[in-house]
Structure 1
Amino acid sequence: MKIMYGIQIMYSKAHQALDYVLSLTYRTHEETFQLLSSFGYVLEQKNPGTITDLQCDENGEFLYFFMPFGASVRGLQRCMRPFISIDGTHLKGRFGGTMFVATAQDGNEHVYPIAFRYGDSKNNLSWEWFLDNLKEVIS
């Protein structure tokens, strides 16, 4: 803003303006969460073998979203090393939560993604839900 228009603004104002423009362009976070079930449906239709699982609490609020791509699962069964690595990381941002990832390794030692899970905190129930879904997909 200073270079283009000669106006000095605070970083927080610039960040608020950016958030506002992004919400006009791409919708708000709340609106995109409401589209998650539709996204899962289209993902399953366009990628054969893909399974998505969306879990909400009793109030209809988002808890977990699990998505293994069908092509990744078929690749795992056909040509990956028989070892799966699983890890989770805390997400930083407005909604927080955790992302779990299951990966394998190919013959050239490249990382091969199998499944992703987004949701609330890293606790035993979250891990159990992720591992149960993963077991169903790869068994």
Structure 2
Amino acid sequence: MDFILTIQAAYAGMNHAIKLIYGDLDKSFQLIRSYLHMVQHCNPDSIIDLETDGDDVFNYCFMALGGCIRGLLLSGRHVVVVDATHLKGKYKGVMFVAVTKDGNEHIFLSYQHISLKNVVEAVFPGVPHGLCTYHLQKNLVRYGANAVAMFQRAANSYKREQYDLHSGQLTLLRDKGAYRKLMDLQPSRWARSHCGVHRYKFMMSNCTEVFNGRLRWGRRLPVCTLLEFVRTLISHWFAEMRSKALARTYPLTEYAALKLDISIEESRIMEVNAINAFKSQLLLVIETMLLIFVLEVVLIMSLILT
């Protein structure tokens, strides 16, 4: 007799296997208070919070490991990128991940089950809240490729004049909805030229998307196992980065040193001959470029040391 495996039976079998290997989904919520206590005990300076309702039913939790906090304070850039990923277990839910980068383009993060709006208003009152340009441009696809290209140029412009030129082109589209929606969202939240603070290179939330991709399987696990999955992953990253850092003899980070080497190689092809006024002016331009390059190196060093 032939046996037909239905989707429902396969799904039930997968959940049963997860229960046997990683624990029961319901019991995991009963253990979360003990788990978070041990995490805080074994990871000094960690910040842990658990929120329940009047019947002691789980609402959300927050966990930021001490290593992530120290990394943020010592070398993290002053921009925090937050994104959400949906959990796939029996009770669903949402996990928010907060990420920033250090001088070597490595990430530090915390993770939580909570409303993003509540976090921004309660923890960072008065701090500018920017938007991911990638997610915004996805909303413009229905207006055509030209609308997306105009938006990208406007969002990434450094000068107001360039922004005015590219954003003004959006008003020439047949459908005026794209321009109105962007203006309703306020350019200060998505345009580099209008941002009142330094966004560094954080115009998109792709650094959180990369981390969420590593959680693809973990999102199906019981809550305690999921948090342990994340903690183990971060600990592995820290151990690997520490080994690489101890092996380095150069004062700059690997990322900064690579940019420095590329700039040096590019400068080798420059040829300057002081023959006339034009050549002297060219020398001045090249000297200015070298001065800008030195200032960039100083800026990178300050980011590493602060």
Q: TM-score range by the shorter chain?
A: 0.7 to 0.9
Task: Give the aligned residue type for 2:101.
Answer: Q
What is the aligned partner in structure 1 of residue 31 from structure 2? Answer: 35
Q: Does 1:109 align with 2:105?
A: yes
Alpha-carbon distance, 1:127 to partner: 5.2
Q: Does 1:82 align with 2:53?
A: no
Q: Distance in 2 between matches of 1:17 and 1:93?
A: 14
Question: Cα 1:124–1:81, aligned 2, differ >3 Å: closer, same or farther?
Answer: closer
- 1:12-54: CA deviation from partner (whole Å, max 9, x where unpaired): 2122122123223332211001111111011111111112111
Question: Cα 1:74–1:126, aligned 2, differ >3 Å: closer, same or farther?
Answer: closer
Return the index of the structure with the highest Cα Rg.
2
Q: Percent identity?
A: 32
Query: RMSD of the TM alignment (CA)?
Result: 2.3
Task: Give the aligned residue type for 1:97.
Answer: G
Task: Give the aligned residue type for 1:29.
Answer: L
Q: Does 1:20 align with 2:16?
A: yes
Task: Give the aligned residue type for 1:70.
Answer: G
Is the deviation greater in 8-17 or in 46-55?
Answer: 8-17
Q: Is the 8 A contact 1:67 1:117 kept in 2?
A: yes
Q: Which has the higher strand share?
A: 1
Question: Cα 1:36–1:128, aligned 2, differ >3 Å: closer, same or farther?
Answer: farther
Q: Is the 8 A contact 2:97 2:112 kept in 1?
A: yes
Mapping 1:1-139, distance limit 5 Å: 7-110=3-106, 112-119=107-114, 122=115, 124-125=117-118, 128=121, 131=123
**Equivalent residues, number:** 123
Alpha-carbon distance, 1:97 to partner: 2.1
Higher relative contact order, structure no. (Cα contacts within 8 Å, ≥ 6 residues apart): 2
Q: Is the 8 A contact 1:85 1:104 kept in 2?
A: yes
Question: Cα 1:123–1:50, aligned 2, differ >3 Å: closer, same or farther?
Answer: closer
Q: Which has the higher helix share?
A: 2
